[in-house]
Amino acid sequence: MKIHPHTRRALAGITLIELLTVMVVIAILASIAVPSYRSYLLRANRSDAKSALMNLQVAQEKYFLQFNSYTDKVTDKPPTGLGLSDVTTHGYYKLTVPVLAKDGQSYTAYATPIAGAGQSDDKKCNTFTINDRGTQDIKNGTGDRASCWK
């Protein structure tokens, strides 16, 4: 069977229209997948703040048992501070414990996103907080406490 020369040339490759169609389909899929993946990363990185605040809470309770008051010094070594890092494990949040009441019997710890680390884009659960009563909350976010701390 003899193939006509024009047919052989048509079977040899793909057309520009076919190539553009494939590129459009890939672009549509990417425009859906990239924002979804970014949202997933923001949710996953929240665990960095939550675990750091839980560790800070444990350190505060240990400090309270030894010195009968809480401290606002995260990085100082005991007996003046907790001896922890003021940046979370993966570097997405900065930990602070603002100045306490004069008696040192209460505290609220904050995990605030570090600018340029990526988590500052998280508008839903921006700043995580925990206090001496174990109350977990968020500040400067549009989300609710239950969904952010779950």
Residue at 100 is within a domain: yes
What is the per-residue DSSP string for 72-141?
Answer: S-SSSPTTTS----SB-TTSSEEEE-PPPPTT----EEEEEEPTTSSGGG--SS-EEEEETT--EEEES-
Residue at 81 is within a domain: yes
Range of the domain at 131: 46-149
Chain position carrying tokens 């040899």: 12
Residue at 17 is within a domain: no
Q: How many domains does the chain have?
A: 1
| Alpha-carbon distances of 23 from 11, 16, 17, 20, 32, rounded to whole Å | 21, 11, 10, 5, 14
Residue at 3 is within a domain: no
Residue at 36 is within a domain: no
Residue at 68 is within a domain: yes
Q: In what order do the strands lie in the sheet with 93-96?
A: 93-96, 108-113, 127-131, 136-139
- Print pLDDT tens along the chain (150 aa): 666 666 655 566 889 999 999 999 999 999 999 889 999 999 999 999 999 999 999 999 999 999 999 999 999 998 999 999 999 999 999 999 987 777 888 999 999 999 998 899 999 999 999 999 999 999 988 999 999 998
- Euclidean distance between the first and the last CA atom of the chain, given in angstroms as a whole number: 69
Size (the chain), residues: 150
Task: Show the tokens assigned to 78.
Answer: 């005991």
Task: Show the tokens assigned to 34.
Answer: 């990239």
